[in-house]
């Protein structure tokens, strides 16, 4: 049973997060091991497993980013051990930013750091807008061909987050 089935929610990128929270709390109450202390050891173990599964499912589904990754894996578009190749033009753009970050290590420049952070934020916001638009299209039409483009954008965003982490190591 996948996480969506566990909560009886239709698999989608955008879900009713209030409903998810309500279902999580209901399951937390239903499966909490303390409420099953007088049951058999097997039943207690089952409730503990369901309680753990409930926590994991909620953690994944409550955030669009983790839900996005989960849906891509659920649809077998994304795998854990995959070696994905990003487009060369994107990699070149990231390489330029990385070179400027390396320059900052040798010649600190607060204005340049702010400009690089702004550039990275603009790229990230553009990626998020594209992902959001495509995710809405997918949810409306359930068109699995859209998932490949979302996957590519997800990998770009993941790559960009490493660059943003590098930028955040500098004090402004």
Place of tokens 């402004």: 172
pLDDT for 172:
53
CB proximity list for 97: less than 8 A, separation 6 or greater = 116, 119, 120, 163
Short-list 51, 42, 57, CA closest to 3: 57
| pLDDT tens sequence for the chain (172 residues) | 999 999 999 999 999 999 999 999 999 999 987 777 777 888 888 988 999 999 999 999 999 999 999 999 999 999 998 999 999 999 999 999 999 999 999 999 999 999 999 999 999 999 999 999 999 999 999 888 999 999 999 999 999 999 999 999 886 5
Q: What is the pTM of this model?
A: 0.87
27 three-state secondary structure: helix
Q: Is residue 15 a contact partner of residue 9, using CB atoms and an 8 Å limit? A: yes
pLDDT for 171:
64
Domain 3-62 has CATH 1.10.287.110: yes
pLDDT for 39:
79
Q: Is residue 77 a contact partner of residue 148, using CB atoms and an 8 Å limit? A: yes
CATH fold label, 88-168: Monooxygenase (1.20.1280)
Residues of the chain with CATH 1.10.287.110: 3-62
Alpha helices in 32-169 (DSSP H): 41-61, 64-74, 88-106, 110-141, 146-168
In degrees, rounded to 5, the angle at the alpha carbon of residue 151 between the alpha carbons of residues 150 and 155 is 115
Short-list 83, 74, 102, CA closest to 9: 74
Residues of the chain with CATH 1.20.1280: 88-168
CA dist 132 and 11 (Å) reads 16
């Amino acid at each position: 049973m996948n996480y969506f089935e566990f909560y009886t929610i239709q698999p989608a990128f955008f879900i009713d997060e209030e409903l998810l929270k309500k279902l999580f709390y209901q399951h937390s109450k239903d499966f909490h091991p303390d409420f099953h202390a007088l049951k058999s050891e097997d039943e207690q173990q089952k409730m503990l497993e369901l309680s753990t599964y409930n926590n994991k499912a909620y953690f994944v589904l409550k955030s669009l980013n983790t839900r996005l990754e989960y849906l891509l894996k659920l649809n077998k578009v994304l795998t854990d051990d995959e070696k994905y190749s990003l487009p060369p033009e994107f990699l070149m753009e990231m390489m330029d930013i990385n070179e400027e970050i390396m320059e900052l290590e040798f010649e600190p420049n607060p204005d340049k750091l702010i400009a690089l952070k702004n550039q990275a934020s603009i790229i990230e916001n553009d990626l998020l807008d594209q992902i959001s638009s495509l995710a809405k299209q997918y949810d409306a039409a359930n068109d699995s061909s859209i998932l490949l483009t979302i996957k590519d954008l997800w990998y770009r965003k993941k790559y960009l987050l490493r660059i943003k982490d590098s930028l955040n190591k500098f004090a402004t």
